[in-house]
Each structure stands twice: as structure tokens, then as C-alpha cells.
Amino acid sequence: MKCYNHPEADAVALCRNCGKALCMNCAVDVSNRMACKDKCESKVKALTEILDRGKKTSKNALYLSKANMYTIFSASFLGAGIISIIVSGQNEGFILLLIGLISIIATASYIRKHSLK
């Protein structure tokens, strides 16, 4: 395949925006996406920004739903433990309470690790 602008030069890449074949001199790398130098460069740059933002947002949404799930999980163990201690005074309550506490510590460290990034 030859370059769209230079019929004598071999193409090394395809533009992400218009799909034209590009030689070394015409292609420009925009965060690992190839684009026509000067012509499609800004369009591919804008596209890359939108894609990256989308990726970041979905990552945060996943993190939030996970953090919520962990919190509900630990809270329900804690709640069940407290209730069974109060109601029946049995030792199983302490085990539930312990699982709840461990889950809360794990959740807290998960949230802290994520927010440090």
C-alpha cells in the first residue's frame, strides 16, 4: 500500500479519522493513534480525549459500585452479629461480628488504596 499523499512512498499507517494510508512523513502519532499530520491531528486528539474520559468514568463507576457492595456486605454481617448477640446471646454472633469487622477493614483499605491513585 502506498501513501495517499505520496504515491512513491510506502504507507506505514492508516489515519484513525479518515482511514487514508500514510507514509512516515504524513503520519503523526496521537497517543498511540495514527493521524494525518496537520489535517486530522486535532480531530484524532479530540477523539482520544473523549475515549480516555469515557474509560476513566466507567472505571470510577465500577469502583463506586464495588465499594458500595463491600460496605453493604460488611454492614450486614455487623448488623447480623449485633442482633444475634442481643437476641440470643450466642457465640455465633461474635463470629459474624468478627467477619463484619474484617470486611470493613478490607473495604476501608480498598477505598484508601483507590483514592491514593
Q: How far is the CB of 66 from Zn ion (least distance, A)?
A: 39
Shorter beta-carbon distance to Zn ion: residue 22 or 97: 22
**Alpha carbon distance 102, 37 (integer Å):** 55
- 13 is an interface residue for Zn ion by CB under 5 A: no
Q: x/- string (CB under 5 A) for Zn ion, residues 32-51?
A: ----x---x-----------
- 28 is an interface residue for Zn ion by CB under 5 A: no
**Alpha carbon distance 7, 22 (integer Å):** 10
- 97 is an interface residue for Zn ion by CB under 5 A: no
- 17 is an interface residue for Zn ion by CB under 5 A: yes
**Alpha carbon distance 80, 73 (integer Å):** 11
- 74 is an interface residue for Zn ion by CB under 5 A: no
One-letter-per-residue 3-state SS of 87-112: HHCCCHHHHHHHHHHHHHHHHHHHHH
Q: Which stretch binds Zn ion (CB under 5 A): 19-27, 45-53, 67-75, 98-106?
A: 19-27
Residue from 13, 21, 23, 34 touching Zn ion (CB under 5 A): that is: 23
Q: In Å, how far are 37, 40, 51 from 20, measured between CA atoms?
A: 12, 10, 21
